[in-house]
Amino acid sequence: MSTTAKLVFPDGKETDLDVIVGTENEPAIDISSLRSKTGYVTLDTGYMNTGSTKSAITYLDGEAGILRYRGYSIEDLAEHSDFVETSYLLINGKLPTKDERATFSTQLTRHSLIHEDMHQFFAGYPPTSHPMAVLSAMVTSLSAYYPDSLDRNAPVELHITRLLSKVRTIAAFSYKKSIGQPLMYPKNSLRFCANFLHMMFAVPSEDYEVSPVLEKALNQLLILHADHEQNCSTSTVRMVGSSGANLYASIAAGILALWGPLHGGANQAVIEMLEEVKLSGGNFKGFLDDVKNKKDNRRLMGFGHRVYKNYDPRAKILKKMCDEVLVHLNVQDPLLDLAKGMEEIALKDDYFISKKLYPNVDFYSGILYRAMGIPTNMFTVMFALGRLPGWIAQWKEMVEDKDTKIGRPRQIYTGEKARPYVSQEQRG
């Protein structure tokens, strides 16, 4: 294959651009020299077809429904790995040896507390605060407690472990605060996910035993969310980090980008949509008609994806998990039946078929979180907890890449041409 592509301009001029091919044979045209060579920039609103970086972390083939972290399939990892091991894999590029795993787990356990002074911050928020607002603010605040994170030449390993461990504690504390219960401190004898469930659901007056079914389900849910290459929040982490902002600030920015209903906020929006349909007597056919007619810009939340034009492999695993976990927990959720009914109809409908709209990761994850006792406004926090190792891995890869430049897209200006200033008197 030629290593250059030729671009021919309307005036007949030509230029050669380098062609780069990834490990999985994805070809790309390197346009970084285009403007200096020709004066042209490219326009790609929403970065629909722009590669912003080279990355060795996650491979995604949206047409074939393939997702791999560091070469390992999402199906294998969800089945055989746990969240701590997958986090290590994403961040370090390889599965840990026994010793590496033990050291990593010990570090995560050791750094699970947050500074006692930070407890006052939780107290300062009104009980109605969305936990994503609290989480993002707390993560930014961590940089104030670990000021050496501002030194770009200082080692980052400890900050990475701290962040992974403390976000779990912050997430659980923000929930306890929202329901007015005392904060439960982490318990060092528990594994990562079990410890989170303990901080969420234990109360000082009662013994709490972590259900192995819940622990396994949580591990799987977090693994499925752990990375997804250059999505909106990950690109935000890289963009903010490219200015030299510290790890905590970059991740806090990613958390905020995730919050929107078109991204990580969709899991909350799916449950709200299903609740609404249930309240209307379960008339999901009517709801789907409204979606197709774009009534009030309605969308079938949890459906569609910028990259997947096939069934999202994560949604496939989640649908199966829903069936198994709900049976184990003896939970009957009418929303699961509604979701399945809507999916069945949508997948046979021309509107969804022609636009290649399939269930994405958010369609079934909320039903699982509900069954686990996690409230709806915490769903996006759960997504953030899962996505954290991916954000960290992408931030680290960006910082370590000698070719990294500050993120700074161009634009095509469509405003007024130069005009003289008009004084207030002349304007009337």
The whole-angstrom separation of Cα 149 and Cα 154 is 7
- Which of 82, 227, 312, 362 is an active site residue? 362
Tell me whether residue 187 or residue 316 sits nearer to ligand CMC (CB atom): 316
The whole-angstrom separation of Cα 57 and Cα 50 is 18
Is there a catalytic annotation at residue 305? Answer: yes
- 112 CB-near residues (< 8 Å, 6+ apart): 165, 166, 168, 169, 186, 188, 195
Least Cβ distance, residue 238 to ligand CMC (angstroms): 16
Least Cβ distance, residue 211 to ligand CMC (angstroms): 27
Distances in Å between the Cα of 298 and the Cα atoms of 278, 294, 305, 337, 343 are 16, 5, 16, 21, 16
The whole-angstrom separation of Cα 247 and Cα 134 is 18
Residues in contact with ligand CMC by the rule CB under 6 A: 228, 231, 262-264, 266, 291, 299-306, 355, 357, 360-362
- Which of 111, 159, 228, 305 is an active site residue? 305
Angle, vertex CA 141, rays to CA 139 and CA 144, nearest 5:
130
Tell me whether residue 333 or residue 349 sits nearer to ligand CMC (CB atom): 349
Least Cβ distance, residue 46 to ligand CMC (angstroms): 6
Tell me whether residue 40 or residue 47 sits nearer to ligand CMC (CB atom): 47
The full DSSP string for 280-329 is TTS-HHHHHHHHHTTGGG---TTB--SS-SS--HHHHHHHHHHHHHHHHT
Give strand pairing partners of 67.
Answer: 60
Tokens (6 digits) for 19? 């062609």
Tell me whether residue 112 or residue 380 sits nearer to ligand CMC (CB atom): 380
Tokens (6 digits) for 403? 């070719």
Least Cβ distance, residue 269 to ligand CMC (angstroms): 7
The whole-angstrom separation of Cα 334 and Cα 282 is 10
Tell me whether residue 55 or residue 231 sits nearer to ligand CMC (CB atom): 231
Is there a catalytic annotation at residue 328? Answer: no
The whole-angstrom separation of Cα 103 and Cα 40 is 51
Q: Which residue is nearest to ligand CMC (CB)?
A: 304
Least Cβ distance, residue 338 to ligand CMC (angstroms): 16
**Catalytically active residues, by annotation:** 305, 362
